[in-house]
Amino acid sequence: MKFNNVLKRIDLDNNYSNGWRPQDKCGVFAIYNYQGPDNAALITYLGLLALQHRGQESAGMAFNCEQGINHIKGMGLVDHVFPRDTLFAIDSKTILGHVRYSTTGSSFVVNAQPLVARSADQSGISLAHNGNLTNTRRLHNKLLGDGHIFHTTSDTEIILSYLSRFKRRGLVSAVQNAMNIIEGAYSAVVLDEEQLVAFRDPNGFRPLMIGCLGEAFIFASETAALDTVGASFIREVEPGEIVTAGPKGLSSYKQVSDSESSLCVFEHVYFSRPDSILGGQSVYGFRKKVGSLLARRITAGLDMVIPSPDSGVSAAIGLAESLNLPMEWAIHRNSYLGRTFIEPTQNEREMAVRLKFNPVKDLITGRRVAIVDDSLVRGTTARVLAALLRKSGAAEVHLCIASPPYKHPCYYGIDIPLARDLAALDSDLNYLAAEIGADSITFAELSDLYSAVGKEQHKLCSACFTGLYPKLGKTRGKVS
């Protein structure tokens, strides 16, 4: 009997031990004309490492070389795909990089990005995309009818296909025309022989930043990636905007006639790094503020606040400060676990949990504790932590969630389980608390999130909490 038939893989970060968590689709990092002392590929590598939390399935870079656009990509983490020899063999000043988590299209290397399309004259373009198109099926069928042969199962190939078709009139024109056809969420960067072109959907669901490093320009999904490579933040690519980095510097083309900015609120709640800046505000500051607002909603008597490692830390700090309670790191998380191979029986799952989390019993015994997390989706982690705290002698366990109940599917690039798997689908909080094994459960309200982000309600997408999906913005019409 083969090993693989007996043992099934458990990803300790994304499976039983940690519970399911919402998964973003991808991070983008691109640098134009880097002339500094380091290798541009090294800069891109560091930028992608800084964005690794946005996608761990595959990584890739595309770049210009003598034969035209070339690319290196593979399955796994950035440091696995780009060992030192590979990295230093990339001799290019302009590089487009990507880390991927799949929401549309399976997890195969053929779907790893950047995707590359070559013309008969060997000229080419390469595309890296964060988001999810909402008219994929219709465009896929149309392209098939037009004779296109798909090489991937990713919606990114649809964008690439339209860019290739329209490219003879110039890359900016191609992007403008493609934006008139595609719908949904896309923060993307395309590379040709001369330039990088960044473009963002009219709603701006996913972030996209512009920075500079000396004379070089950078596009990146988060400011933390700019900080990591020592670059300065210039501004965000605006919803519906096209920005080129080329021989004449940066140029901007506004492409929107009807847009309603709808940045995904989950970028603040969970996806983005706490050290990133979104809309001029620190993500850490947002999470801490929501924790302090959540404190006003808690009625239970408490002795101590414990963060769910590591996702609940910022909110737990705000909550503990507001309630004037000690915050203790009473659950230790083993950060050195990658993927392991364990048969997924109940016993093995419990062992995986013990591998991942271990409580500091002395802190917990006899105490009334609040365990704080950023969100509740399936509730797997909450169940695990509540059980661990009770087993360690906690007198009471109160679950505090720094976002509203997650109840509706996302169509804009976030992988969310089927409705039947959502823990908070039933709004009876007493039942939910009992089912999770807690004495009570308190959620932040949507108004807390808007208050913490300091934006008007229409500036954020919060559809997975409300079921009210933003109207998709339109582009300006046909552009030649």
SS3 call for 120: coil
Pairing label, strands 184-191, 249-254: unpaired
Q: Does 266 bind ligand SF4 (CB under 6 A)?
A: yes
**Which CB atom, from 23 or from 308, has the smaller least distance to ligand SF4?**
23
Please select the residue that binds ligand SF4; options are 82, 205, 286, 357, rule is CB under 6 A: 205
Catalytic residue among 26, 264, 410, 464: 26
Cα gap 272→466, rounded to integer Å: 21
Residue 56-75 contact track with ligand SF4, rule CB under 6 A, x = bound: --------------------
Least separation in angstroms between residue 408's CB and ligand SF4 is 7
Q: Is residue 55 exposed (0-12), middle (13-18) or buried (19+ Cβ within 10 Å)?
A: buried
* Residues between 113 and 152 with contacts to ligand SF4, criterion CB under 6 A: none
Distance of closest approach, residue 288 Cβ to ligand SF4, in angstroms: 20
Q: How many residues bind ligand SF4 (CB under 6 A)?
A: 11
Supply angle C-alpha 267, 211, 43, rounded to 5. 95
Nearer to ligand SF4, 105 or 184 (CB): 184
Which class for 156: exposed (0-12), middle (13-18), buried (19 or more C-beta within 10 A)? buried
Cis peptide before 359 (omega within 30 of 0): no
DSSP state of 316: H
* 90 contributes a contact to ligand SF4 by CB under 6 A: no
List, in order, residues 6 or more apart from 335 with CB less than 8 Å away: none
**Cα(333)–Cα(326) distance, integer angstroms:** 19
Tally of CB atoms within 10 A around 254: 13
Of residues 451 through 480, those in contact with ligand SF4 by CB under 6 A are 461-464
Alpha carbon distance 23, 14 (integer Å): 9
Q: Which is nearer to ligand SF4, 255 or 462 (CB)?
A: 462
Q: Is 186 in the site for ligand SF4 (CB under 6 A)?
A: no
Contact stretch for ligand SF4 (CB under 6 A) within 73-81, 166-174, 259-267, 313-321: 259-267
- Please state, as a whole number, how many other Cβ atoms lie within 10 Å of the Cβ of residue 67: 9
CB of 418 to ligand SF4, least distance (A): 15
Q: At what angle do helices 156-166 and 171-179 cross, to 10 degrees?
A: 130
The distance of closest approach from Cβ of residue 340 to ligand SF4 in the complex, given in angstroms and rounded to an integer, is: 29
Residue 88, amino acid: F
Output the smallest distance, CB 171 to ligand SF4, in A: 28
Q: Could you tell me which of 441, 377, 387 has the C-alpha nearest to residue 409? A: 377
Indicate if 26 belongs to the active site.
Answer: yes
CB 158 within 8 A of CB 138: no
Contacting ligand SF4 (CB under 6 A), which of 31, 49, 96, 264? 264
Look up tokens 């915050």; give the residue: 327
Distance of closest approach, residue 103 Cβ to ligand SF4, in angstroms: 10
Binding mask 382-421 for ligand SF4 (x = CB under 6 A): ----------------------------x-x-x-------
CB neighbour burial string for 283-297, b if at least 16 within 10 angstroms, e if fewer: bbbbbbbbbbbbbee
Minimum distance between the CB of residue 374 and ligand SF4, rounded to whole angstroms? 13
Distances (CA, A) of 90 to 86, 93, 220, 275: 7, 9, 20, 30
- Minimum gap (Å) between residue 186 Cβ and ligand SF4: 12
Question: In the complex with ligand SF4, which residue's Cβ is closer, 19 or 22?
Answer: 22
Site pattern 340..359 for ligand SF4 (x: CB under 6 A): --------------------
Nearer to ligand SF4, 132 or 244 (CB): 132
Task: Show contacts with ligand SF4 in window 310-339 (CB under 6 A).
Answer: none
Q: Which is nearer to ligand SF4, 392 or 403 (CB)?
A: 403
Kindly indicate which of the ranges 3-11, 171-179, 251-259, 262-270 contains the residues binding ligand SF4, using the contact rule CB under 6 A.
262-270
Which are the catalytic amino acids?
Answer: 26
Binding site for ligand SF4 (CB under 6 A): 205, 264-266, 410, 412, 414, 461-464
